[in-house]
Amino acid sequence: MKLIPIILILALVGAASFKPLAAAADEAPTTQVTIDGYAFKAPSITVAAGTVVVWKNLDDDPHTVTAVDGSFDSGGLAQGDTFRHTFSKPGTYQYYCKVHPMMRGTVIVKEASS
């Protein structure tokens, strides 16, 4: 019978110290690009490898964020929707909106500094 309170205490201490795996993604650097007036605001950005880029559609009309090389695609983004992509490897990534192909942007990814 004395064992039950000890097990409960250990379970509570263990639960209190639990850190979800998703928290690691929250610690990655983040950069935001807005979609407004049928344009990607900050059409060209430079980030370190490991950065999460978040696009947010402020327009009334739907848009996409689609990599020219096919490496990422947001699907349709309604007003207020966001799309997140983590850029892990250095390189230059060009993207566009499938609905409005004249909308274009570039993400330049550099080596992460130690």
16 phi/psi in degrees, rounded to 5: -70, -30
The pLDDT profile of the chain, 114 residues, written as one tens digit per residue, is 566 655 545 455 444 444 444 444 458 899 999 999 999 999 999 999 999 999 999 999 999 999 999 999 999 999 999 999 999 999 999 999 999 999 999 999 999 886
Considering the four listed CATH numbers 2.60.40.420, 3.20.20.80, 3.20.20.70, 1.10.10.10, the one that applies to the domain covering 24-110 is 2.60.40.420
Give me the pLDDT at residue 22, please: 46
Contact 61, 68 (CB under 8 A): no
Q: Which residues contact 94 (CB under 8 A, 6 or more apart)?
A: 67, 68, 69, 104, 105, 106
Q: Where are the domains of the chain?
A: 24-110
Residue keyed to tokens 């983040």: 30
Distance CA 90, CA 87 (A): 8
Q: Which residues, listed in sequence order, are joined to residue 43 by a DSSP beta bridge?
A: none
